[in-house]
């Protein structure tokens, strides 16, 4: 094996490579009983612990890259835990053995739509790197009149507090009265960039939904709070974008039984989402007759 520690841990889904480097620097990771250092390389038989807890390490051949598409609702935050007790995007994801889901980027608490998760931290790290410039598409509902001159400025570029920015495209998508829908695309992923661009033209955004990440679209049949696993073809599209070797295995099958199980799983997800909406995430109490 003899690979860098942070790369092995990231690939196994313990976090992004950047996170693993920070944990190593903080002395949270040990190799065979010794505190790890940045630059350490490990073999496949090494005993690795994070915060004293033994973790699994696998070679590239042993890891199956999985990617989920999640329909994030408004009101969820992109953190594993929240001191204020607010719901997070990780709460409803399926359990994954000897690994964990890593979010590919973030959406702010008031933004809904497509959010990708992967069990391969290296894939997440590369997709989030600015050099990849993966195109994102958003559906935006604005409140009030939007002058054509403002739309032209958003296409050509405006100056934000962290530098120049612009939309690659801005297209009107209908609406009623003072509420107007737009579809916008951009390649960057700066913090709240879509909202800040509209705000630079004194336009109020009342809804913001990410509908596409690269060639991966938000499935129209996927309810808010629901997730679905991407096919091997979709996973390998993302791996190609990230400059990684294609995956040859998948947890999804193509036989009729697999399709049937996928439909059953989809139905379960929908029921769970509806139940969550009705109960507010709490277990319903029985009423005596």
Q: What is the pLDDT of residue 273?
A: 58
Q: What is the pLDDT of residue 256?
A: 36
Whether 135-213 and 67-130+217-279 are alike in CATH topology: the answer is yes
Instruction: State in words which class domain 3-59 has.
Output: alpha beta
Q: What is the pLDDT of residue 155?
A: 95
Q: What is the pLDDT of residue 271?
A: 57
Q: What does DSSP say about strands 112-118 and 204-213: parallel, antiparallel, or unpaired?
A: parallel
Q: What is the pLDDT of residue 38?
A: 92
Q: What is the pLDDT of residue 279?
A: 45
Q: What is the pLDDT of residue 133?
A: 84
Longest alpha-carbon distance in the chain:
66
Q: What is the pLDDT of residue 246?
A: 92
Q: What is the pLDDT of residue 285?
A: 44
Quick: pLDDT tens for 136-192: 999 999 998 899 999 999 999 999 998 999 999 999 998 887 899 999 999 987 889
Considering Cα of 210, then 216, then 217, then 219, what sign does the dihedral take? negative
Q: What is the DSSP letter of 180?
A: E
Cα of 208 vs its chain's centroid, Å: 16
- 255 counts as catalytic: no
Q: What is the pLDDT of residue 253?
A: 59
**H-helix or E-strand spanning residue 113:** strand 112-118
Q: What is the pLDDT of residue 257?
A: 34
Catalytic residue among 62, 108, 162, 168: 108
Q: Which two tokens stand for residue 218?
A: 């938000």
Q: To the nearest whole percent, how much of the chain has pLDDT over 70?
A: 85
Q: What is the pLDDT of residue 254?
A: 41
> CB–CB of 114/218 below 8 Å?
yes
Q: What is the pLDDT of residue 259?
A: 38
Fold classification of 67-130+217-279 (topology level): Pseudouridine synthase (3.30.2350)
Q: What is the pLDDT of residue 284?
A: 40
* Every domain of the chain and the residues it spans: 3-59, 67-130+217-279, 135-213
Angle formed by the axes of helices 232-241 and 121-128, nearest 10° = 50
**H-helix or E-strand spanning residue 216:** strand 216-217
Q: What is the pLDDT of residue 283?
A: 41
- For domain 135-213, the CATH architecture is 2-Layer Sandwich (3.30)
* Helix, strand, coil percentages for the chain (3-state, nearest 5): 30, 25, 45
Look up the pTM and report it: 0.77
Q: What is the pLDDT of residue 258?
A: 35
Q: What is the pLDDT of residue 82?
A: 85
Which residues in the chain show pLDDT less than 50?
A: 254-264, 278-279, 281-289
| Main-chain dihedrals φ then ψ at residue 133, nearest 5 degrees | 50, 55
Matching residue, tokens 């809804």: 207
In angstroms, what is the C-alpha Rg of the chain?
21
């Amino acid at each position: 094996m003899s690979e860098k520690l942070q790369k092995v841990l990231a690939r196994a889904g313990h976090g992004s490579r950047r996170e693993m480097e920070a944990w190593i620097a903080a002395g949270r990771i040990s190799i065979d009983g010794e505190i790890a250092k940045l630059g350490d390389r490990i073999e496949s038989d090494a005993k690795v612990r994070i915060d004293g807890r033994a973790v699994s390490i696998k070679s590239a051949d042993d890891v199956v890259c999985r990617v989920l598409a999640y329909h994030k609702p408004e009101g969820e935050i992109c953190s594993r835990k929240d001191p204020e007790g607010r719901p997070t995007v990780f709460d409803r994801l399926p359990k994954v053995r000897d690994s964990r889901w890593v979010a590919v980027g973030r959406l702010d608490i008031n933004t809904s739509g497509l959010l990708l998760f992967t069990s391969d931290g290296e894939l997440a790290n590369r997709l989030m790197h600015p050099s990849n410039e993966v195109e994102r598409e958003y559906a935006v509902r604005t409140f009030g009149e939007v002058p054509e001159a403002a739309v032209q400025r958003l296409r050509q570029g405006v100056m934000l507090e962290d530098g120049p920015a612009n939309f690659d495209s801005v297209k009107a998508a209908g609406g009623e009265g003072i509420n107007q829908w737009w579809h916008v695309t951009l390649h960057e992923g700066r913090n709240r960039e879509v909202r800040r661009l509209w705000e630079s033209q004194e336009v109020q955004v009342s809804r913001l939904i990410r509908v596409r990440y690269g060639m991966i679209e938000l499935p129209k049949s996927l309810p808010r709070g629901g997730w679905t696993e991407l096919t091997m073809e979709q996973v390998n599209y993302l791996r190609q974008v990230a400059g990684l070797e294609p995956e040859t295995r998948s947890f999804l099958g193509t036989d009729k039984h697999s399709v049937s199980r996928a439909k059953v799983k989809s139905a379960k997800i929908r029921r769970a989402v509806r139940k969550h909406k009705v109960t507010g995430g709490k277990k319903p109490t029985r009423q005596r007759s």
